[in-house]
Structure 1
Amino acid sequence: MSSIASQSIKGFIWSAVERFSLQGVQFFIGIVLARLLSPSDFGMIGMLTIFLSISQIFVDCGFSNALIREKEVTDQDYGTAFLLNFLISVACFGILFAIAPFVADFYQLPELELVMQVVSLTLIINALFTVHKARLSRAVDFKTQSKASFGAALLSGIFGVVLACCGFGVWSLVWQSIANSVLNLLIFSVLLRWFPKPCFNKASFHSLFSFGSKLLVSSLIHSVYSNLYNLVIGKKFTATDLGFYTRADHLSSFPSLNVASILSRVTFPILSKLQDDNEKLLSVYKKYLQVSCFLIFPLMIGLCVLAKPTIIILLGEKWSGAILLMQILCFSSILDPVCNINLNLLYVKGRSDLVLKLEIIKKTIAIIILFTSMRYGLVGMCVGRALYGFIATFLNMTYTRSFIDLSIWGQVKLLASSFVLSLSMGGVIWLVMNLFSSDGLQLATGILTGVAFYFAVAYLLKMNPLRLLIELKNRRHA
């Protein structure tokens, strides 16, 4: 087996284990908490997401990706990144602590002030193990990350549920978040048995910042846009409406976000090793693209069709206001893996300047769509997000041919068969589920029918992505 194939399989498996075990625990805990807490409790945390997300991006400064991409990394590189991450996290915490009263006044929720001040502590704690994760990702070691993340998520999740049962309300979510950060730090330190020595090296800083600074700006633009919906909905509508939106967004993005994250984490370090060989880079890139969409398209289409029984069974009737929002948002996330893999190509080639340029263009369009769609309520805003998802994918594809010989049309042809088959599967699921009135039977028969139909047709048509998956499986056991 080639070293690239071996690393891809091993990295993908452990990244998938880490991601889905982590997200599986968080998903299950989230379901339990959603039944114990109210939509407004989740809405309050959603109001703070934009501030925490932006601060976290400043804390990282793009150094993690810079460390992963570098061909050689020294102890001084790790130490410099660690020191700056920590100092920036303290500064960000101080800023959020100071502006908390103004944020609470903006939303007209006095209790939000203390919630924001306490939950901001996670920034400092997270900064203490950011470099640990970058070091493991650089080594394509997702097994260790899997152990740490899963353990922290499980224990902190149980802690949050206990607090919710005791009537702590929104504070259940706050203390769960802090507990998760503390446990991650402790477990990473124990498993890795390594801690970077804080230092500042001018050469290391320039090397990391020259690449990471552009990623910092592009990540900031993306994060502001992503969380702008929470800000606008929280101000224009009610905390309950925001709760519906955040749950719909979470459920609809769960499959796409996780598959995209797994592929992004695995492909970036591996493609980075092929950055000077365009022929191999193209071959590996096409395989990643086909396999990711073969997996994610049916998941998103199926989730859209099965949105009603999924929400009613998992969250209960009180969350029915999220059903239509979730169905629409499934289409805003369906192309996320395509976007991420295309962006990874630019990272691999060291063109973080193009990533920044793309973000400026895309988010200008996105903000126009956001403020245009506001007049049509929550449904209109979700439709706008879905429209932007397709536009963003098209724009990301435009730069691919500059580095490898693959046009937009070439990429579309690679994905078309999986998309058409997924739509057909969605139609079959809809026909079958309508034979039953019970939500449980609709969900069960829909899932079984969809899986059977999709893979049976893919096998009969001898679709290339399925062949690639079978080859990877055979190589793993070879």
Structure 2
Amino acid sequence: MSDLKSKTVNGLKWSAFERIFSQGIQFILILILAKFLGPKAFGLIGMVAIFIAIGQVLVDSGFSSALIRKVDRTDVDYSTALYFNVSVSVVFYFFLYACAPYIAKFYEQPELELLTRVIGLSLVVNSFCVVPRTILTVEMNFKALAKSSITSVVIGGCVALVLAYNKCGVWALVGQTLVIAICNAIFINVIVKWIPPAKFDRKSFNYLFGFGGRLLISGILDTVYNNIYQIIIGKKFSAFFVGQYTQANQISSIPAMTMTSIIQRVTYPMFCHMQHDINKMEEYYLLTMKVASLFIFPIMAGIAIIAKPSIALLLGEQWSEAAKLIVILSLAYMIYPIHAINLNILQVKGRSDLFLKVEIIKKMLGVIIVAVTMRYGIMAMCIGLLIHSYISLLINIIYTAKLTTLGIWKQLVEISPIWLTAIFSCFIAWGCAIYFTANNFYQIVIMLVEAPTIYFALVFLTQRKIVSLVLSIRK
């Protein structure tokens, strides 16, 4: 177990470094490109995002999770997954190619036809990454994954900036997507040096699809739901407003998704190793949840309070609508990593059936909320998303409690004090900034100094045990 703990801590450090660094670059690029390109370019990409996202879910089909969980995996298992991944990507690309004119017609945006056909190529390229990435994850070699990801993001970002500077519009974003995909495919395969055997095993496929199939369905449901806002806004309003929402959603979600990716990437293989030791797994689960809360809660609350002055200062009035949405969306994504940790438990326990059931319940609830709020505008839709996020967490916990002793009360006792501390600290800082000055720059400075000071002081006083543990890990 000590070796596993060492791998987990090392993996957490490298995974955190990779996600924070690469997503940090992406965040900066989003701000720079938003200044160059404006809302419409991001809106056009947002309109086709759902099709690319569904394609990515289909390409993986839950096979990577199935492979990680399988104790006696072989090269034939890997090769079976690879040939399936690539085949699905090619079939889906041709389907997307044929549907491109209808997508353009649906949104009444002619340029979407060529844009969809070009950006769809990234799916085929990404299919060659699924198995090599899984191999490195199984080995918990997150250092190699970090090198590949960061290098790809830097190269893709440079390409995007050059294209944007030369007034290529939305094609700067398309070029960035393709270059990142191609570079990552090359780098990750060179690092792994795995040559697949020329064999597709039906028995192996049945096992992988038997576990991954339900994850596939839940993944599609999740993807459709997460992108339904772009579809409705794009059809009901315009590419300009899709751009406002897409930008707000990206800025709000990047920190939460980064933390979630780190947690899932490291803890899923770790929990899989512990799947027969329920007490140890629950101990590590609560620890992971509390450490995640300690970092993500203040970050998301902080984004909410600095959104308006930051957007006004950096991007100008053309993005003013996005600033309002960021406040709501940041609070919605605040608990996203806790969602992910709960769902990890269901996968580790092999209950992909419960995983699917949970997703169906949450998405049905989400569709009802969207149907009710869409008539009142984009802001109302985002408030609905906020409400849905917190209800969904309770649903996740209820089903986690069916397999563990980690019920609602036990989890809320762990995370509620940290949540309240983060909200209180940021609210006080926001109030002081608004009271003392109307200057955007000085408001940001006051908030960024005062909120962390209050938060860390309160956390140190009330959460000394977890703070000491984090400091010991850092050493």
TM-score category, normalised to shorter length: over 0.9
Q: Which residue of 2 aligns with 1:241?
A: 241
- For the residue of structure 2 that corresponds to 1:196, the secondary structure is coil
Q: CA deviation at 1:444?
A: 2.2
Instruction: Give the aligned residue type for 1:445.
Output: I
Q: Indicate whether 1:397 and 2:397 are aligned.
A: yes
Q: Indicate whether 1:464 and 2:433 are aligned.
A: no
Q: Which residue of 1 aligns with 2:311?
A: 311
Q: Which residue of 1 aligns with 2:229?
A: 229
User: Can you list the C-alpha shifts for 1:294-348, whole angstroms capped at 9, x where unaligned?
Assistant: 1111111111111112222332332111111110111211111111000000000
Q: Partners in 2 of 1:231 and 1:395 — Cα distance?
A: 26
The answer (yes or no) to whether the contact 1:332–1:387 under 8 Å persists in 2 is: yes
Q: Partners in 2 of 1:195 and 1:152 — Cα distance?
A: 22
Q: Which residue of 2 aligns with 1:125?
A: 125
Q: Which residue of 1 aligns with 2:287?
A: 287
User: Can you list the C-alpha shifts for 1:240-265, whole angstroms capped at 9, x where unaligned?
Assistant: 11100001111111211111111111
User: Can you list the C-alpha shifts for 1:413-469, whole angstroms capped at 9, x where unaligned?
Assistant: 111110111121012211332223322222122112111211122112344332331
Q: Which residue of 1 aligns with 2:251?
A: 251
Q: Which residue of 1 aligns with 2:47?
A: 47
The TM-score, its normalising length taken from structure 2, stands at 0.97
Equivalent residues in 2 for 1:34-73 (5 A)? 34-73=34-73
User: Can you list the C-alpha shifts for 1:391-431, whole angstroms capped at 9, x where unaligned?
Assistant: 11000000222222121111111111101111210122113
Q: CA deviation at 1:96?
A: 0.3
Q: Which residue of 2 aligns with 1:378?
A: 378
The answer (yes or no) to whether the contact 2:358–2:399 under 8 Å persists in 1 is: no
The answer (yes or no) to whether the contact 2:397–2:406 under 8 Å persists in 1 is: no
The answer (yes or no) to whether the contact 1:218–1:356 under 8 Å persists in 2 is: yes
User: Can you list the C-alpha shifts for 1:215-234, whole angstroms capped at 9, x where unaligned?
Assistant: 00010111011111111110
Q: Which residue of 1 aligns with 2:326?
A: 326
Of residues 191-200 and 412-421 in structure 1, the stretch that sits farther from structure 2 once superposed is: 191-200
Q: Partners in 2 of 1:61 and 1:377 — Cα distance?
A: 35
Q: Which residue of 1 aligns with 2:441?
A: 440
Q: Partners in 2 of 1:124 and 1:406 — Cα distance?
A: 40
Q: Which residue of 1 aligns with 2:412?
A: 412
Q: Which residue of 2 aligns with 1:103?
A: 103
Q: Which residue of 2 aligns with 1:175?
A: 175
Q: Indicate whether 1:211 and 2:211 are aligned.
A: yes
Q: Partners in 2 of 1:338 and 1:323 — Cα distance?
A: 25
Equivalenced residues, count: 474
Q: Partners in 2 of 1:80 and 1:421 — Cα distance?
A: 49
Q: CA deviation at 1:198?
A: 4.6
Q: Partners in 1 of 2:465 and 2:227 — Cα distance?
A: 37
Percent identity over the alignment is 38
RMSD: 1.3
Q: CA deviation at 1:30?
A: 1.5
Q: Indicate whether 1:451 and 2:461 are aligned.
A: no
Equivalent residues in 2 for 1:411-430 (5 A)? 411-430=411-430
The answer (yes or no) to whether the contact 1:301–1:422 under 8 Å persists in 2 is: yes
Instruction: Give the aligned residue type for 2:228.
Output: L
Of residues 183-192 and 119-128 in structure 1, the stretch that sits farther from structure 2 once superposed is: 183-192
Q: Which residue of 2 aligns with 1:220?
A: 220
Q: CA deviation at 1:23?
A: 0.7
Moved over 4 A (4+): none
**Structure 2 CA distance for partners of 1:223 and 1:460, relative to 1, 3 Å:** same
The answer (yes or no) to whether the contact 1:215–1:356 under 8 Å persists in 2 is: yes
User: Can you list the C-alpha shifts for 1:171-203, whole angstroms capped at 9, x where unaligned?
Assistant: 111112111111111111222222434531112
**Structure 2 CA distance for partners of 1:252 and 1:186, relative to 1, 3 Å:** same
**Structure 2 CA distance for partners of 1:372 and 1:149, relative to 1, 3 Å:** same
Q: CA deviation at 1:14?
A: 0.5
Q: Partners in 1 of 2:290 and 2:118 — Cα distance?
A: 44
The answer (yes or no) to whether the contact 1:222–1:363 under 8 Å persists in 2 is: yes
- For the residue of structure 1 that corresponds to 2:401, the secondary structure is helix
The answer (yes or no) to whether the contact 1:83–1:198 under 8 Å persists in 2 is: no
Q: Which residue of 2 aligns with 1:92?
A: 92
Q: Partners in 2 of 1:419 and 1:156 — Cα distance?
A: 36
The TM-score, its normalising length taken from structure 1, stands at 0.97
- For the residue of structure 2 that corresponds to 1:306, the secondary structure is helix
**Structure 2 CA distance for partners of 1:197 and 1:433, relative to 1, 3 Å:** farther
Query: What 5-or-longer segments of structure 2 have no aligned partner?
Result: none
Instruction: Give the aligned residue type for 1:427.
Output: F
Equivalent residues in 2 for 1:318-357 (5 A)? 318-357=318-357
**Structure 2 CA distance for partners of 1:195 and 1:229, relative to 1, 3 Å:** farther
Of residues 226-235 and 429-438 in structure 1, the stretch that sits farther from structure 2 once superposed is: 429-438
The answer (yes or no) to whether the contact 1:291–1:468 under 8 Å persists in 2 is: no
The answer (yes or no) to whether the contact 1:244–1:319 under 8 Å persists in 2 is: yes
Of residues 181-190 and 308-317 in structure 1, the stretch that sits farther from structure 2 once superposed is: 308-317
Q: Which residue of 2 aligns with 1:140?
A: 140
The answer (yes or no) to whether the contact 2:96–2:116 under 8 Å persists in 1 is: yes
User: Can you list the C-alpha shifts for 1:340-382, whole angstroms capped at 9, x where unaligned?
Assistant: 0000000000000000011111100100000110011000000
The answer (yes or no) to whether the contact 2:426–2:447 under 8 Å persists in 1 is: no
Query: What 5-or-longer segments of structure 1 have no aligned partner?
Result: none
Instruction: Give the aligned residue type for 1:454.
Output: Y
Q: Which residue of 2 aligns with 1:302?
A: 302
The answer (yes or no) to whether the contact 1:287–1:468 under 8 Å persists in 2 is: no
- For the residue of structure 2 that corresponds to 1:226, the secondary structure is helix
Q: Partners in 2 of 1:430 and 1:28 — Cα distance?
A: 24
Q: Partners in 1 of 2:130 and 2:463 — Cα distance?
A: 43
- For the residue of structure 1 that corresponds to 2:327, the secondary structure is helix
- For the residue of structure 2 that corresponds to 1:405, the secondary structure is coil
- For the residue of structure 1 that corresponds to 2:405, the secondary structure is coil
